[in-house]
Chain A
Amino acid sequence: MDLTYTPEQEAFRAEVRAWMEANVPAAPLEHFDATREGFEAHRAWERTLKSGDWGMVTWPRDYGGRGVDLIQWLIFEEESYRAGAPGRVNQNGIFLLGPTLIEFGTPEQKARFLPPMASGDEIWAQGWSEPQAGSDLAAVRATAVRDGDDYVLSGHKIWSSRAVFADWCFGLFRTPGTERHQGLSLIFFPLNAPGVTVNPIRKMNGHVGFAEIFLDEVRVPAFNRLGDEGQGWHICMATAGFERGLMLRSPARYQKAASKLAALYQANADTVDPAIEADVVRAWMNAEAYALSIYSTASRLIAGGKIGAEASTNKIFWSELDIHLHQTALAILGPQAEVLPQGPDAHGAGDWLEDYIFALSGPIYAGSNEIQRNIIAERMLGLPR
């Protein structure tokens, strides 16, 4: 146990801070799910990051990264959120598929896909769920038929985040004739390939943040399959571990929000119910607990450990703390809570509302919290199925 940063880690923080202060856009960008312009503005931010060599700091240098460890990744995230940097439009790529590619990909696949992922030149969507395969993901029906050096993909994917404006998609496909967890493969396809139709789906916040994707005999090279044919479920679970357990929701996000919440409470302390203070303190504690847990996980992974079922405890914890934190902000705002951010009377209140509406999706995406509780009960506690 040594909870102090090394001089190298402090120097890294100073370097990130100086770069962020010089480069973070003064005005917030339009949301990447709202319009094509917002999406492309975020792609430009990814390219700016890459120009500073910050594309994905944990990846090896050969693949567009800096080769730093997970503690430095946490420091990078902390400084990004501290500086109010734009969100990462390529999170499906850099946080989910990227680490999975590094674990399971061939050298040729890594060389082909990681550098343009790190630079924002190729932005990724995910294609896991189908109309009949939500929580029961092993019910996937979309097929991949081998034809020489190619696969021919057919089926119907849905709830694909970023798919409306993204360039590439990774999806789970079945070898015809197989069932459940067997015969699944993880395969990449370009979203502009012949036979791909993307229909935007509007979210409850009005953004077109996800889509349904129809694949009608879409031909891709077998090179686009990650891992062996039939290994898809295993690889998907590794990806889900990164998603739920480590990278998708960095603690800095909640620490920044908790800090803003404390300031909001203090600014309104004369008028709000003092009982709200306990929730403000609780929100801060939750964010700290999540940060400490991630530092602990990062240290364990650096020492050679693996992400296991505890990824499910993380997903429950961050999704619930996010809702509680934003509900507390809305309670402070009171009658201002419902005012949309565009309105002349919003005075910044609308940001809390937008983030609250987004937080409501947390217990659903990346595997519903009910599924996570099943995983905890069955794999951590050993209860019968």
Chain B
Amino acid sequence: MDFTLNDEQRMFAETAKTVFTDTCDSARLRQLMETDAPRDDARWEAVVENGFPLILLPESAGGLGLSETDLALIAEAAGYAALPEPLIESAGVAAPMLAAIAPDSPALADPMATIAIQHPINPFVVDADRAAVLLLHADGATHVVEPSAVSLERVESIDAFRRLFRVTWRPTAQTEVSRDAGLWDLALDRGALFAAAQALGAAQRAIDLATDYAKGRTQFGKPIGSYQAVKHQLATAQVKIEFARPVLQAAAAEIGHGDAQSRARISHAKLVATEAADVAARTSLQVHGAMGYSWEVDVHLFVKRALALTYAWGGPAFHRARVAQRVFGQPTGPDQTFAREQIHA
């Protein structure tokens, strides 16, 4: 039993945070927002150079062969910086799934390429137009299709950096690559896990923005951050973050079990990390006052990202039901924290 990250994991996460925050400064984010370009090419090059898209890919597919624990840390850093590019869904969900069914796909060989996924739990596909290939779902089977072979309709999200598309297509025998429905369960678990990780990062950024503001903004002759009414709101949000993080880390470490317990842990992480993001973002807005409600200040980026992540990869009702299945269907109690699923005959 060792519930700690190792030094390499901590250093990799620190590098990711630096790369993302250096390249996602407010001006650069706004430039992308105004041009509606799918990506900032210089930033994406920095992301690729650091090997982030290769983390979950097996070494046989040219990847780093690391774990969900490692990618969750990168996802948290991406959430912290409000990274616009679809690194996490591509590298965390779609690419490892493609590597499992079509390891020789040219899309995996191109380091700059992203891969998009249409999971039945999500009505829309993120960055479908720029993807090298799309992973599409039909009756449990997986189809691999190029964007030019499907019809794409853009759907505007309140989060300007989530480029959503409705995908219309017709499955054929030629596009079908796998009939293993279990792949889609793993994709859902990974999607929810990494959405939770991004939400946790976004939550901490919202608090950090508010803390900086509260130190500098003076009213009644004192920094507003010296007033308990402000302090206590921020502390309450920080408590939510602190108690979402170990759940997220355990969920990442246990995902490979694919049992009732690991699914419940991921759902628990998704629920509490997105709640932390919601509370932190709205607290940040309140602490910033009218400035926080302005387009100019970055708080709204995190309010919107928190909203989108709450409902992507299964909303609260879906995930609460998965936790309930574990609570009422498996043994509970003090000795069951790390227990695995018991199958009833």
A313 touches B335 (CB 8 A): no
Which residues of A have CB within 8 Å of B69? Answer: 1
Give the complex CA separation of A299 and B238 in angstroms: 21
Contact A383/B215 with A284-B327, A376-B238 known, Cβ cut-off 8 Å:
yes
User: A1-49: which have CB < 8 Å to B?
Assistant: 1-6, 9, 13
In the complex the two chains form, is B242's CB within 8 Å of A384's CB?
Answer: no
Q: Does B337 contact A (CB under 8 A)?
A: yes
C-beta contact mask, B231-248 vs A, less than 8 Å → 1, else 0? 110111011001110110
The answer on a CB contact under 8 Å between A295 and B236 is no
| In the complex, residue of chain B having the shortest beta-carbon distance to the beta carbon of A79 | B335
Residue among A255, A289, A382 making CB contact with B272, cutoff 8 Å: A289
Please choose the segment from B1-9, B102-110, B140-148, B168-176 that sits at the chain A interface, where 4 or more of its residues have CB less than 8 A away.
Answer: B1-9
A285 and B272 contact, CB distance less than 8 A = yes
Q: Which of A354-385 contact B (CB under 8 A)?
A: 370, 372-374, 376-378, 380-385
Q: Which residue in A13, A280, A288 is a CB contact (below 8 Å) of B247?
A: A288
* Size class of the B contact interface (CB-based, 8 Å): 35 or more
Is the Cβ of B335 less than 8 Å from the Cβ of A3? no
Closest CB-CB distance, B52 to chain A, in whole Å? 19
Note all chain B residues with C-beta closer than 8 A to A266. 328
Point out the residues of chain B lying under 8 angstroms from A13, CB to CB.
335
Contact between A262 and B328 (Cβ–Cβ < 8 Å)? Answer: yes
Residue B231 contacts which of A71, A79, A262, A374 (CB distance < 8 angstroms)?
Answer: A374
Question: What's the nearest-Cβ distance from chain A to residue B127, in Å?
Answer: 30
Q: Does B332 make an interface contact (CB < 8 A)?
A: yes
Q: Which of B1, B4, B238, B327 contacts A6 (CB 8 A)?
A: B1
Q: Shortest Cβ distance from B215 into chain A, in angstroms? A: 7
- The reply on B60 being an interface residue by CB < 8 A is no
Contact segment of B15-23, B79-87, B220-228, B298-306: B220-228
As a 0/1 sequence over residues 248 to 264 of chain B, the CB contacts with chain A under 8 angstroms (1 = contact) are: 01101110000000000
Shortest Cβ gap from B160 to chain A (Å): 29
Nearest CB of B to A109, in Å? 32
Q: Is the CB of B1 within 8 A of A288?
A: no
B289 within 8 A of A: no
A256 contacts B246, C-beta separation under 8 Å: no
A77 touches B332 (CB 8 A): no
Tell me if B137 is interfacial: C-beta within 8 Å of chain A: no
Interface residues of B in 303-324 (CB under 8 A from A): 320, 323-324
The answer to whether A290 has its CB under 8 Å from any CB of chain B is yes
Is B207's CB within 8 Å of the partner chain A?
yes
Whole-angstrom CA separation of A54 from B222 in the bound complex: 53
Do residues A383 and B3 form an inter-chain contact, with CB atoms below 8 A? no
Give Cα A251–Cα B211 distance, bound, in whole angstroms: 31
Chain B residue at smallest Cβ distance from A374: B231
Task: Provide the A268-279 mask, 1 if CB < 8 A to any CB of B, else 0.
Answer: 000000000110
> Which residue in chain B gives the minimum CB-CB distance to A1?
B253
B324 near A384 with CB under 8 A, answer no
CA distance A335 to B334 in the complex (A): 29
Question: Does A316 reach chain B (CB closer than 8 Å)?
Answer: yes
Q: Answer whether A289 and B211 are a contact pair too, CB < 8 Å, given A259-B333, A374-B228.
A: no
Q: Give chain A residues whose Cβ lies under 8 Å from the Cβ of B215.
A: 382-384
Residues of B within 8 A of A243 (CB): none
Complex-state Cα separation, A206 to B207, whole angstroms: 43
Q: Mark A287-328, 1 if CB is under 8 A from B, else 0.
A: 011111101101110010000001001001100000000000
Q: A166 on the interface (CB 8 Å rule)?
A: no
Residue in B69, B242, B249, B338 whose Cβ sees the most chain A Cβ within 10 Å: B242
Judge whether B338 and A3 touch: CB under 8 Å: yes
A residues contacting B by CB (< 8 A) are 1-6, 9, 13, 71, 77-79, 81-82, 251-252, 255-256, 258-259, 262, 266, 277-278, 280-281, 284-286, 288-293, 295-296, 298-300, 303, 310, 313, 316-317, 370, 372-374, 376-378, 380-385
Further contacts, 10 of them, CB under 8 A, given A81-B334, A289-B246:
A1-B6, A4-B338, A251-B337, A255-B334, A259-B333, A285-B247, A289-B244, A291-B334, A303-B4, A382-B211
A–B Cβ pairs within 8 angstroms, 23 of them: A1-B4, A1-B5, A1-B252, A2-B2, A3-B1, A3-B3, A4-B1, A5-B1, A82-B334, A262-B328, A277-B324, A284-B332, A285-B271, A285-B323, A291-B334, A292-B250, A295-B246, A296-B246, A317-B243, A374-B232, A376-B238, A377-B232, A382-B215
Query: Which residues on B are within 8 Å of A, measured CB to CB?
Result: 1-6, 69, 207, 211, 214-215, 222-223, 225-226, 228, 230-232, 234-236, 238-239, 242-244, 246-247, 249-250, 252-254, 268, 271-272, 320, 323-324, 327-328, 332-338
- Top 10 A-B residue pairs of the complex, sorted by shortest distance between their CB atoms: A377-B231, A252-B334, A373-B235, A376-B235, A78-B334, A292-B246, A383-B225, A299-B3, A259-B332, A259-B333
